[in-house]
Structure 1
Amino acid sequence: MAAKTDEPSKLQDLIANRLVAPGPVDLDGFVGDGPFSYCRGKLLLTAPQTGRVIRCTDLCDASVFDEVIARYAGKFPGSDRRAIVSMWTLYYFSVLTVAPSVHMFVNGIGLPLAIDRLSLVCDEETCEPEAFVMFGRPATTANPADDLYQLMVSHIEPVIAAIAANGALAPKLLWNNVAAYLSWILKEIAHRKQRLLVEGGLSLLDEPSWPDGRRNPMFGMIRTARQQCGLEFAQRKVCCLRYNLPGVGGCGEACPLPDGRH
Structure 2
Amino acid sequence: MASAQHHIADPDQPASVLSPAFAGEHAWCSEKMALSADLPDGVPLPLFFGNGGFEQAIERYATACGDSDRRAVVSMWSLYYFSALSIPYVLARRLAAQELPVAFDQMTIALHDNGLPRAFGVPHRGRNAQGGEEDGFEAIGPLLEEHLHEAVRKLAACGVSAKLCWNNAAVYLDYVLRLTRPPEGPDLTVFVRGCLPDGGVNPLCGSLRYVEEDGERVARRKICCLRYMLPGVQSCGKLCALPSQRNMQ
Question: In the TM superposition, what is the alpha-carbon distance from 1:43 to its structure 2 partner?
Answer: 1.6
TM-score, reference length from structure 1: 0.80
Letter in 1 for 2:175: W
Q: Which of 217, 230, 245 is residue 232 of structure 1 equivalent to?
A: 217
Within a 5 Å distance, the mapping from 1:27-46 to structure 2 comes to 27=18, 29-33=20-24, 35-45=25-35, 46=37
Counterparts of 1:28 and 1:116, CA distance in 2? 21
With over 3 angstroms needed to count, the CA separation of the structure-2 counterparts of 1:59 and 1:203, relative to structure 1, is farther
Are 1:126 and 2:114 an aligned pair? yes
TM-score, reference length from structure 2: 0.84
Letter in 1 for 2:239: A
Within a 5 Å distance, the mapping from 1:52-131 to structure 2 comes to 52-61=41-50, 63-123=52-112, 125-131=113-119
Question: In the TM superposition, what is the alpha-carbon distance from 1:119 to its structure 2 partner?
Answer: 0.4
Letter in 1 for 2:196: W
Question: In the TM superposition, what is the alpha-carbon distance from 1:18 to its structure 2 partner?
Answer: 6.2
Check the 8 A contact 1:106/1:189 in 2, yes or no: yes
Secondary structure (helix, strand or coil) at the match of 1:246 reads: coil
Are 1:248 and 2:236 an aligned pair? no
Counterparts of 1:153 and 1:147, CA distance in 2? 12
Are 1:216 and 2:205 an aligned pair? no
Counterparts of 2:204 and 2:144, CA distance in 1? 10
Check the 8 A contact 2:31/2:119 in 1, yes or no: yes
Secondary structure (helix, strand or coil) at the match of 1:232 reads: strand
Equivalent residue number for residue 154 of structure 1:
146
Check the 8 A contact 2:98/2:126 in 1, yes or no: yes
Counterparts of 1:240 and 1:36, CA distance in 2? 26
Secondary structure (helix, strand or coil) at the match of 2:220 reads: strand
Identity across matched positions, percent: 31
Question: In the TM superposition, what is the alpha-carbon distance from 1:29 to its structure 2 partner?
Answer: 4.6
Secondary structure (helix, strand or coil) at the match of 1:31 reads: coil
Give the number of the structure whose residues are more often helix, by fraction.
1
Question: In the TM superposition, what is the alpha-carbon distance from 1:112 to its structure 2 partner?
Answer: 0.7
Secondary structure (helix, strand or coil) at the match of 2:42 reads: strand
Equivalent residue number for residue 12 of structure 1:
none
With over 3 angstroms needed to count, the CA separation of the structure-2 counterparts of 1:17 and 1:88, relative to structure 1, is closer
Counterparts of 1:146 and 1:235, CA distance in 2? 24
Check the 8 A contact 1:59/1:159 in 2, yes or no: no
For structure 2, the 5+ residue unaligned runs are 1-5
Aligned residues between the structures:
234
Secondary structure (helix, strand or coil) at the match of 1:233 reads: strand
Check the 8 A contact 2:7/2:128 in 1, yes or no: no
RMSD: 2.6
